[in-house]
Amino acid sequence: MKRTQPFYHLRQTLVLFCLLFASGLSFGQGQFIIGVKGGMDGCIYQFNSSSTSLPPNLNTNGTGYTRIVSTGPAIPALLELIYGTKKFRIGYQFEYDRILTTSYKVKVYNPSGAYGDTSVYDPTITQHFFCHNILIELIAFDNHKNLRLVPDIVFGYFHGLSSATLAPYDFSSLNANRFKFGGALNVEYYFGPYSVVATPNFTLAPVKAIADPTEKGYMFFIGLHIGMRFNVTKSKQEADQNPKKKKKEYVNPEEDN
């Protein structure tokens, strides 16, 4: 049977990652790293569509096409499961963004140019952006004391939720093949198995309407993530190399006489 689920290839990669992790623990090769990050992003959304695809209650004054532009902050949260060798790392990254935009602009065009401009504000708009990513990292610099520079690329699948009628877009009406990609630079300050990480980054997610593929646009995120990483394998190896010493039993010298 043909596999059509969007998560099929990501599940395959995650299974492979788990096998690599298990073999690394068994044979003492490689490293397994768990990371969590937060921070602040800026989100830009632009979408060109027909005037009939506008959110309800907007007066477009005619036919043509529309351009919806939305900009605003977003709060990210990320979880990372990473398998690494001496220079190369690969892993799974779950990414969530709470998009805080509550207003956007709508321009309506015809062949002679723009003739309608509308601003929409709705404080009830809530938008949630979820990503399942494959993460690939390369350790570009390590001073072997406490500092590493680790650029990365990510690609994966995204989906989301919009809870208001006047939201600038409805995730359920966007393209089924929701591919996204991005890049970042991880600045790692490490001590023992722990690392404090600062990550300037960007993400680009092209979007298309399911009903009409000519209606398309993009979502773009740029921001700074800050978090912690924990090297599980290194912690285990240090524990094996430095076992706890048994306490010396006290002997009363009077008992020997």
Q: Is 252 inside a domain boundary?
A: no
- Residue 57's CATH number: 2.40.160.20
Q: Cα separation of 104 and 222, whole Å?
A: 18
Report pLDDT for 59: 46
Q: Is the pTM of this model over 0.75?
A: yes
Q: Is 26 inside a domain boundary?
A: yes
Q: Is 121 inside a domain boundary?
A: yes
- Which domain range does residue 49 map to? 8-237
Chain Cα centroid distance, residue 189: 21
- Six token digits for residue 81: 């499961």
Sign of CA dihedral 44, 50, 56, 60: positive
- What spatial distance separates the first Cα and last Cα of the chain, rounded to whole Å? 84
Q: Is 250 inside a domain boundary?
A: no
Q: Is 255 inside a domain boundary?
A: no
Q: Cα separation of 156 and 150, whole Å?
A: 20
Give the 3-state secondary structure of residue 240.
helix
pLDDT digits (tens, 9 = 90+) for 170-187: 776 666 568 899 999 999
Q: Is 145 inside a domain boundary?
A: yes
Report pLDDT for 239: 54
* Count of the separate structural domains present in the chain: 1
Q: Is 245 inside a domain boundary?
A: no
Half-sphere exposure of 177 (CA within 13 A, CB side): 4
Q: Is 244 inside a domain boundary?
A: no
What backbone phi and psi angles, to 5 degrees, belong to 139? -80, 100
- Which residues of the chain register pLDDT less than 50? 1-4, 6, 26-27, 56-57, 59-62
Give, to the nearest 10 degrees, the angle between helix 8-27 and helix 232-241: 10
